[in-house]
Structure 1
Amino acid sequence: MLTYLLFALVVGSVYALLAQSLMLSWGLAGLVNLGLAGFFAVGAYASAMLVAWGHAPVLLGPLAAMAAAGVAGLVVCFSTLRLRDDYLAIVTLGFAEVVRLVASNEVWLTGGTDGISGIPGFLRRESGMAFHLGTLALALLAVAAVYLLQRRLLRSPWGRALRSVREDETVAAVAGKNVVRFKAQAFALAAAIAGLAGALYGHYTSYVAPDQFQPLITIYIFLAVTAGGNARPAGAVVGAYLLVGFLEATRFAAEWLPELSALQRASLREMLVGLGLVVVLSLRPDGLLPERSQKAPSR
Structure 2
Amino acid sequence: MDAYLAAIAIVALIYILLALGLTLQYGLTGLINFGHVGFFAIGAYAAAILATHGAPLVLGFVAAAFFAGLAAWPIGLVSLRLRDDYFAIVTLGFSETVRLVITSEKWLTNGVQGIPAIPRLFSGLTVGIGAQLAVLAVLLAVTGAAVLAMRRIVRSPFGRIIEAIRDNEDGLRALGKEPARFKVQVLILGAGLAGLAGAFYAHYITYIVPDQFIPLVTFYVWMAIIIGGVGRISGAVVGTALLMILLEGSRFIRDVVPGISEVEMASIRLGVIGILLVLFTIYRPQGLMGDFSRK
TM-score interval, smaller chain:
over 0.9
Q: What's the counterpart of residue 100 of structure 2?
A: 101
Once the two structures are superposed, residues 127-175 of structure 1 have per-residue CA deviations (whole angstroms, 9 ceiling, x without a partner) of 1221100011111111111111001100111111101111122111121
Whether the 8 Å CA contact 2:6–2:129 is kept in 1: the answer is no
Whether the 8 Å CA contact 1:224–1:236 is kept in 2: the answer is yes
Give the whole-Å Cα distance in 2 for the aligned partners of 1:11 and 1:293.
Answer: 30
* Structure 2: 5+ residue stretches without partners: none
Give the whole-Å Cα distance in 1 for the aligned partners of 2:31 and 2:294.
Answer: 21
**Runs of 4+ that moved beyond 6 A:** none
Q: 1:156 to 1:242 in 2, by over 3 A?
A: same
Q: 1:255 to 1:98 in 2, by over 3 A?
A: farther
How far 1:126 moved relative to its partner? 5.3
Letter in 2 for 1:99: V
Give the whole-Å Cα distance in 2 for the aligned partners of 1:97 and 1:254.
Answer: 33
Give the whole-Å Cα distance in 1 for the aligned partners of 2:293 and 2:261.
Answer: 48
**Pair 1:267-2:267 in alignment:** yes
Q: What's the counterpart of residue 84 of structure 2?
A: 85
Give the whole-Å Cα distance in 1 for the aligned partners of 2:293 and 2:35.
Answer: 29
How far 1:201 moved relative to its partner? 0.5
Q: What's the counterpart of residue 123 of structure 1?
A: 122
* Structure 1: 5+ residue stretches without partners: none
Letter in 2 for 1:100: R
Task: Report percent identity of matched pairs.
Answer: 46
Q: TM-score, normalised by structure 2?
A: 0.96
Whether the 8 Å CA contact 1:254–1:268 is kept in 2: the answer is no
Q: What's the counterpart of residue 215 of structure 2?
A: 215
Once the two structures are superposed, residues 186-218 of structure 1 have per-residue CA deviations (whole angstroms, 9 ceiling, x without a partner) of 111000000010000001111111011011101
**Which has the higher mean CA deviation after the structures are superposed, 92-101 or 173-182?**
173-182
Q: 1:294 to 1:227 in 2, by over 3 A?
A: closer
Once the two structures are superposed, residues 217-269 of structure 1 have per-residue CA deviations (whole angstroms, 9 ceiling, x without a partner) of 01111111000011011100111111111100001113433322322211111
Q: What's the counterpart of residue 14 of structure 1?
A: 14
Give the whole-Å Cα distance in 1 for the aligned partners of 2:39 and 2:94.
Answer: 9
Give the whole-Å Cα distance in 1 for the aligned partners of 2:27 and 2:222.
Answer: 10
Q: What's the counterpart of residue 179 of structure 1?
A: 179
Equivalenced residues, count? 294
Q: TM-score, normalised by structure 1?
A: 0.94
How far 1:278 moved relative to its partner? 2.4
Q: What's the counterpart of residue 159 of structure 1?
A: 159
Give the whole-Å Cα distance in 2 for the aligned partners of 1:36 and 1:292.
Answer: 21
Give the whole-Å Cα distance in 1 for the aligned partners of 2:124 and 2:40.
Answer: 23
RMSD: 1.5
Give the whole-Å Cα distance in 1 for the aligned partners of 2:114 and 2:184.
Answer: 31
Q: What's the counterpart of residue 32 of structure 1?
A: 32
